[in-house]
Amino acid sequence: GESVGLHLPTLSVQEGDNSIINCAYSNSASDYFIWYKQESGKGPQFIIDIRSNMDKRQGQRVTVLLNKTVKHLSLQIAATQPGDSAVYFCAEIPSNDYKLSFGAGTTVTVRA
Amino acid sequence: EAGVTQFPSHSVIEKGQTVTLRCDPISGHDNLYWYRRVMGKEIKFLLHFVKESKQDESGMPNNRFLAERTGGTYSTLKVQPAELEDSGVYFCASSNRGVYNEQFFGPGTRLTVL
Protein backbone atom coordinates (compact mmCIF):
# COMPACT_ATOMS: atom_id res chain seq x y z
CA GLY A 1 0.00 0.00 0.00
CA GLU A 2 0.91 3.63 0.04
CA SER A 3 3.34 4.88 2.60
CA VAL A 4 2.48 8.10 4.34
CA GLY A 5 5.33 10.44 5.11
CA LEU A 6 5.82 11.02 8.79
CA HIS A 7 5.45 14.56 10.05
CA LEU A 8 8.58 15.57 11.92
CA PRO A 9 8.71 18.68 14.10
CA THR A 10 12.33 19.32 13.10
CA LEU A 11 14.41 18.61 10.03
CA SER A 12 18.16 19.13 9.64
CA VAL A 13 19.40 19.26 6.05
CA GLN A 14 22.83 19.61 4.51
CA GLU A 15 23.14 22.64 2.26
CA GLY A 16 22.63 21.59 -1.33
CA ASP A 17 20.56 18.52 -0.49
CA ASN A 18 16.85 18.23 -1.19
CA SER A 19 14.36 18.62 1.65
CA ILE A 20 11.02 16.91 2.03
CA ILE A 21 8.52 18.22 4.56
CA ASN A 22 5.40 16.18 5.24
CA CYS A 23 1.98 17.13 6.49
CA ALA A 24 -1.18 15.15 7.17
CA TYR A 25 -4.42 17.07 6.89
CA SER A 26 -7.62 16.19 8.63
CA ASN A 27 -10.55 17.50 6.64
CA SER A 28 -11.52 15.48 3.58
CA ALA A 29 -13.66 18.45 2.49
CA SER A 30 -10.62 20.69 2.17
CA ASP A 31 -10.32 22.09 -1.27
CA TYR A 32 -7.25 24.24 -1.19
CA PHE A 33 -3.84 23.74 0.40
CA ILE A 34 -0.98 26.12 1.00
CA TRP A 35 2.56 25.92 2.30
CA TYR A 36 3.82 28.85 4.36
CA LYS A 37 7.34 29.68 5.49
CA GLN A 38 7.89 31.58 8.71
CA GLU A 39 11.25 33.11 9.47
CA SER A 40 12.19 34.33 12.89
CA GLY A 41 10.46 37.60 13.77
CA LYS A 42 8.27 37.56 10.68
CA GLY A 43 4.79 36.40 9.82
CA PRO A 44 4.02 33.36 7.65
CA GLN A 45 4.89 33.91 4.01
CA PHE A 46 3.16 32.13 1.12
CA ILE A 47 5.34 29.65 -0.74
CA ILE A 48 3.10 27.60 -2.99
CA ASP A 49 -0.48 26.40 -3.18
CA ILE A 50 -2.41 23.54 -4.75
CA ARG A 51 -6.07 22.87 -5.42
CA SER A 52 -7.67 19.54 -4.66
CA ASN A 53 -8.10 18.73 -8.36
CA MET A 54 -4.31 18.56 -8.75
CA ASP A 55 -1.70 16.06 -7.54
CA LYS A 56 1.43 18.10 -8.07
CA ARG A 57 2.46 21.68 -8.59
CA GLN A 58 5.91 23.10 -9.12
CA GLY A 59 7.37 26.47 -8.34
CA GLN A 60 10.86 27.83 -8.21
CA ARG A 61 12.90 25.15 -6.37
CA VAL A 62 9.72 23.94 -4.63
CA THR A 63 7.22 21.22 -5.46
CA VAL A 64 4.02 20.42 -3.61
CA LEU A 65 2.49 16.94 -3.80
CA LEU A 66 -1.06 16.17 -2.75
CA ASN A 67 -2.34 12.68 -2.02
CA LYS A 68 -6.04 12.93 -1.32
CA THR A 69 -6.45 9.21 -0.73
CA VAL A 70 -4.38 9.32 2.45
CA LYS A 71 -4.86 13.06 3.09
CA HIS A 72 -1.18 13.83 2.83
CA LEU A 73 0.66 16.89 1.59
CA SER A 74 4.38 17.31 1.08
CA LEU A 75 6.72 20.13 0.19
CA GLN A 76 9.95 19.37 -1.60
CA ILE A 77 12.71 21.97 -1.66
CA ALA A 78 15.47 21.40 -4.19
CA ALA A 79 19.08 22.31 -3.45
CA THR A 80 18.32 23.61 0.04
CA GLN A 81 20.05 26.89 0.90
CA PRO A 82 20.81 28.56 4.25
CA GLY A 83 18.00 31.05 3.56
CA ASP A 84 15.55 28.15 3.59
CA SER A 85 16.00 27.75 7.35
CA ALA A 86 12.60 28.53 8.85
CA VAL A 87 9.44 26.97 10.22
CA TYR A 88 7.23 25.53 7.48
CA PHE A 89 3.48 25.19 7.93
CA CYS A 90 0.96 23.45 5.75
CA ALA A 91 -2.54 24.91 5.77
CA GLU A 92 -5.90 23.86 4.35
CA ILE A 93 -9.13 25.63 3.52
CA PRO A 94 -12.40 23.69 3.20
CA SER A 95 -14.72 24.38 0.29
CA ASN A 96 -16.57 27.70 0.53
CA ASP A 97 -14.60 28.76 3.57
CA TYR A 98 -11.97 31.39 4.16
CA LYS A 99 -10.15 30.46 7.32
CA LEU A 100 -6.84 28.65 7.21
CA SER A 101 -6.32 25.54 9.34
CA PHE A 102 -2.63 25.12 9.99
CA GLY A 103 -0.58 22.03 10.70
CA ALA A 104 1.89 21.81 13.56
CA GLY A 105 4.89 23.17 11.67
CA THR A 106 8.31 21.77 10.86
CA THR A 107 11.48 23.64 11.80
CA VAL A 108 14.05 23.26 9.04
CA THR A 109 17.70 23.90 9.82
CA VAL A 110 20.20 24.00 6.98
CA ARG A 111 23.74 22.87 7.83
CA ALA A 112 26.59 24.53 5.99
CA GLU B 1 3.01 48.76 -1.55
CA ALA B 2 3.06 48.43 2.23
CA GLY B 3 2.28 45.02 3.64
CA VAL B 4 0.20 44.16 6.68
CA THR B 5 1.48 45.97 9.74
CA GLN B 6 0.88 45.21 13.39
CA PHE B 7 1.44 47.17 16.54
CA PRO B 8 3.02 46.67 18.98
CA SER B 9 5.60 44.10 18.00
CA HIS B 10 5.92 42.99 21.61
CA SER B 11 3.79 43.49 24.69
CA VAL B 12 4.48 42.34 28.22
CA ILE B 13 1.65 42.76 30.70
CA GLU B 14 0.58 41.34 34.02
CA LYS B 15 -2.31 39.00 34.49
CA GLY B 16 -5.53 40.96 34.84
CA GLN B 17 -4.39 43.88 32.72
CA THR B 18 -5.82 44.92 29.38
CA VAL B 19 -3.98 44.92 26.08
CA THR B 20 -5.06 46.15 22.67
CA LEU B 21 -3.39 44.91 19.52
CA ARG B 22 -3.71 46.75 16.25
CA CYS B 23 -3.59 45.54 12.66
CA ASP B 24 -3.44 47.63 9.50
CA PRO B 25 -4.25 45.46 6.48
CA ILE B 26 -3.06 46.01 2.94
CA SER B 27 -5.01 48.92 1.48
CA GLY B 28 -8.11 47.78 -0.36
CA HIS B 29 -8.27 44.33 1.22
CA ASP B 30 -11.80 43.63 2.39
CA ASN B 31 -10.90 40.45 4.25
CA LEU B 32 -9.04 40.68 7.54
CA TYR B 33 -8.17 37.74 9.78
CA TRP B 34 -6.73 37.25 13.23
CA TYR B 35 -4.77 34.14 14.13
CA ARG B 36 -2.57 33.22 17.06
CA ARG B 37 0.20 30.78 17.83
CA VAL B 38 0.45 29.69 21.42
CA MET B 39 3.49 28.04 23.01
CA GLY B 40 5.07 26.91 19.72
CA LYS B 41 1.97 25.03 18.68
CA GLU B 42 0.10 25.39 15.43
CA ILE B 43 -1.31 28.70 14.28
CA LYS B 44 -5.02 28.86 15.04
CA PHE B 45 -7.76 30.96 13.50
CA LEU B 46 -9.51 33.48 15.73
CA LEU B 47 -11.84 35.46 13.49
CA HIS B 48 -12.54 36.89 10.06
CA PHE B 49 -13.86 40.32 9.05
CA VAL B 50 -15.31 41.25 5.71
CA LYS B 51 -15.01 45.01 5.71
CA GLU B 52 -16.41 46.04 9.10
CA SER B 53 -18.56 42.94 9.62
CA LYS B 54 -17.57 39.87 11.60
CA GLN B 55 -17.97 37.01 9.15
CA ASP B 56 -16.72 34.23 11.39
CA GLU B 57 -15.64 34.47 15.02
CA SER B 58 -15.73 30.77 15.75
CA GLY B 59 -12.10 30.72 16.87
CA MET B 60 -12.35 33.37 19.57
CA PRO B 61 -11.40 31.63 22.83
CA ASN B 62 -13.84 33.39 25.17
CA ASN B 63 -15.52 36.69 25.90
CA ARG B 64 -12.32 38.24 27.21
CA PHE B 65 -11.39 38.78 23.57
CA LEU B 66 -13.02 41.58 21.59
CA ALA B 67 -12.19 42.40 17.98
CA GLU B 68 -13.36 45.44 16.09
CA ARG B 69 -12.90 46.85 12.63
CA THR B 70 -14.70 50.16 12.63
CA GLY B 71 -14.88 51.72 9.18
CA GLY B 72 -13.58 48.56 7.58
CA THR B 73 -9.94 49.62 7.64
CA TYR B 74 -7.69 48.77 10.58
CA SER B 75 -8.68 46.30 13.25
CA THR B 76 -8.06 46.03 16.97
CA LEU B 77 -8.04 42.97 19.19
CA LYS B 78 -8.52 43.66 22.88
CA VAL B 79 -7.86 41.16 25.62
CA GLN B 80 -9.48 42.10 28.93
CA PRO B 81 -8.56 40.87 31.46
CA ALA B 82 -5.50 39.03 30.19
CA GLU B 83 -4.70 35.56 31.54
CA LEU B 84 -1.44 33.60 31.47
CA GLU B 85 -2.71 31.28 28.74
CA ASP B 86 -3.23 34.23 26.40
CA SER B 87 0.52 34.49 25.87
CA GLY B 88 1.56 33.83 22.30
CA VAL B 89 2.04 35.48 18.95
CA TYR B 90 -1.00 37.13 17.41
CA PHE B 91 -0.98 37.39 13.64
CA CYS B 92 -3.16 39.45 11.42
CA ALA B 93 -3.67 38.70 7.73
CA SER B 94 -5.59 40.32 4.91
CA SER B 95 -6.73 39.29 1.46
CA ASN B 96 -8.70 40.49 -1.52
CA ARG B 97 -12.27 39.39 -2.13
CA GLY B 98 -12.66 35.78 -3.19
CA VAL B 99 -12.18 32.51 -1.37
CA TYR B 100 -8.79 31.43 -2.66
CA ASN B 101 -7.02 34.73 -2.63
CA GLU B 102 -3.68 34.69 -0.84
CA GLN B 103 -3.73 35.79 2.77
CA PHE B 104 -0.85 38.14 3.49
CA PHE B 105 0.38 38.01 7.05
CA GLY B 106 1.74 40.72 9.27
CA PRO B 107 4.84 40.19 11.44
CA GLY B 108 2.76 39.43 14.51
CA THR B 109 2.53 40.80 18.02
CA ARG B 110 4.23 38.73 20.69
CA LEU B 111 2.14 38.95 23.85
CA THR B 112 3.55 37.83 27.18
CA VAL B 113 1.26 37.72 30.18
CA LEU B 114 3.10 37.43 33.52
Q: Inspect the interface and report whether the beta carbons of A99 and B4 lie closer than 8 Å.
A: no
pLDDT tens column, A37-80:
999 989 999 999 999 999 999 999 999 999 999 999 999 999 99
- Establish if B7 touches chain A: CB-CB under 8 angstroms: no
Task: Provide the shortest C-alpha distance from residue A48 to chain B (in Å).
Answer: 10
Residues in B touching A45 (Cβ below 8 Å): 105
pLDDT tens column, B56-72:
999 999 999 999 998 88
Residue B99: is its pLDDT beyond 80? no
So what's the pLDDT on residue B101?
80
Residues in A touching B56 (Cβ below 8 Å): 98-99
A35 in Cβ contact with A75 (< 8 Å): yes
Task: Provide the shortest C-alpha distance from residue B85 to chain A (in Å).
Answer: 18
Domain-wise residue ranges, chain A: 10-100
Q: Inspect the interface and report whether the beta carbons of A89 and B43 lie closer than 8 Å.
A: yes
* Domain A10-100 CATH (choose: 2.40.50.100, 3.30.413.10, 3.40.50.261, 2.60.40.10): 2.60.40.10
Residues in B touching A99 (Cβ below 8 Å): 33, 45, 48, 56, 59
Q: Mean pLDDT over all residues of chain A?
A: 90
Phi, psi (5° rounding) for residue A75?
-120, 125
Q: How confident is the model at residue A95 (pLDDT cuts 50, 70, 90)?
A: confident
CA proximity to A97, closest of B95, B63, B78: B95
- B67 lies in which domain range? 5-113
Task: Provide the shortest C-alpha distance from residue A66 to chain B (in Å).
Answer: 17
Q: How many domains does chain B have?
A: 1
Q: How confident is the model at residue A3 (pLDDT cuts 50, 70, 90)?
A: very low
CATH number of the domain that B40 lies in? 2.60.40.10
Can you point out the beta strands (E) in A1-112?
10-14, 19-24, 30-38, 45-51, 56-58, 62-67, 72-77, 86-94, 101-102, 106-111
**Of B81 and B70, which is predicted with more confidence?**
B81
Q: Mean pLDDT over all residues of chain B?
A: 94
So what's the pLDDT on residue A5?
53
Q: Inspect the interface and report whether the beta carbons of B99 and A96 lie closer than 8 Å.
A: yes
**Closest CB to A102 among B43, B95, B100:** B43
Residues of chain A above pLDDT 90, percent: 74
Give the C-alpha distances (Å, rounded to integers) separating B91 from A74, A93, B4, B11, B103.
Answer: 24, 18, 10, 13, 11
Task: Provide the shortest C-alpha distance from residue B46 to chain A (in Å).
Answer: 9
